[in-house]
């Protein structure tokens, strides 16, 4: 089973995808972490973040390794170094959308992501282009979104609770998220889009557990319906669903 979860920055995709994977006993891949890892290392090694070939070379020589951890989600290693926390730094936040614009790097990472999906019995993969590009044939596709102020509020809460290093004010956080949205939606290569057939979940008023419950219920009901052959899916239809 393949489940694709896409959506804008801070919509809660990572925590929802991780919990859905745990509940359904599937592997979990946070593809944003891969773009973040390349961004961190490009910044540390003074690699031009607009030079696609240089970014690919960096990724190829990195020995990037991704493991699953129940608490942390995905653990990211780069040449043996655990960079799971470092990829969440404000510097990486600020630059990652520019790095993710590179078609050369996207091709490289998408190929890795497909390989990981192929080797897993089942997977929940989250990012921006999973349902549209990485796994267009995914069994279930979700587009998680929330109003920008709510996304910033959640991120603000996480920064405070986890004591994450950040010098942003709340207003700056709203601005940073809006800028990333603009770049992710506006880029030429596989921009953030709602995949055909995706369930759209606007999570603005809902707590995390309710969103997880909704995703799991949609998957279980659709699976049962498919097994009973009394439902037909239409790939070109968008199922707009409010919790």
- Please report, as ranges, the residues that interact with ligand DC according to CB under 6 A: 9, 31-32, 35-36, 96-97, 100, 127-130, 180, 184
What CA–CA distances, in Å, run from 165 to 33, 81, 87, 162, 214? 18, 20, 12, 9, 33
CB of 57 to ligand DC, least distance (A): 19
Q: Using the minimum distance from each CB to ligand DC, give the nearer residue, 184 or 202.
A: 184
141 vs 180 by CB, closer to ligand DC? 180
Instruction: State the nearest-atom distance from the C-beta of 231 to ligand DC, in Å.
Output: 29
SS3 4: strand
What backbone torsions phi and psi does residue 49 show, to the nearest 5 degrees?
-75, -5
Decide: 224 and 28 in contact? Cβ < 8 Å.
no
Q: Are 113 and 31 in contact (CB under 8 A)?
A: yes
Residue whose CB is less far from ligand DC, 19 or 129: 129
Minimum CB distance to ligand DC, residue 187 (Å):
8
Write down the least CB distance from residue 141 to ligand DC, Å: 13
Nearer to ligand DC, 50 or 217 (CB): 50
């Amino acid at each position: 089973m393949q489940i694709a979860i896409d959506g804008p920055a801070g919509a809660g995709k990572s925590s929802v995808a991780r919990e859905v994977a745990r509940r359904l006993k599937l592997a979990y891949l946070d593809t944003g972490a891969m773009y973040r890892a390349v961004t961190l290392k490009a910044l540390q090694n003074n690699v031009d973040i607009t030079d696609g070939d240089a970014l690919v070379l960096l990724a190829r020589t990195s020995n990037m390794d991704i493991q699953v951890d129940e608490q942390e989600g995905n653990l990211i290693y780069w040449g043996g170094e655990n960079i799971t926390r470092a990829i969440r730094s404000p510097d990486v936040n600020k630059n990652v959308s520019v790095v993710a614009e590179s078609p050369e790097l996207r091709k490289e990472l998408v190929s890795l992501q497909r390989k990981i999906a192929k080797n897993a019995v089942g997977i929940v993969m989250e990012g921006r282009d999973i349902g549209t590009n990485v796994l267009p044939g995914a069994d279930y596709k979700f587009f998680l979104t929330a109003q920008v102020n709510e996304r910033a509020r959640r991120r603000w809460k996480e920064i405070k609770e986890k004591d994450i290093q950040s010098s942003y004010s709340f207003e700056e956080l709203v601005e940073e998220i809006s800028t990333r949205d603009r770049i992710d939606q506006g880029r030429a290569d596989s921009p953030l889009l709602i995949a055909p057939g995706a369930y759209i979940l606007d999570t603005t008023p809902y707590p995390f557990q309710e969103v997880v419950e909704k995703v799991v219920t949609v998957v279980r009901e659709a699976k049962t319906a498919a097994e009973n052959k009394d439902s037909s899916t239409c790939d070109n239809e968008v199922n707009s669903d409010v919790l």
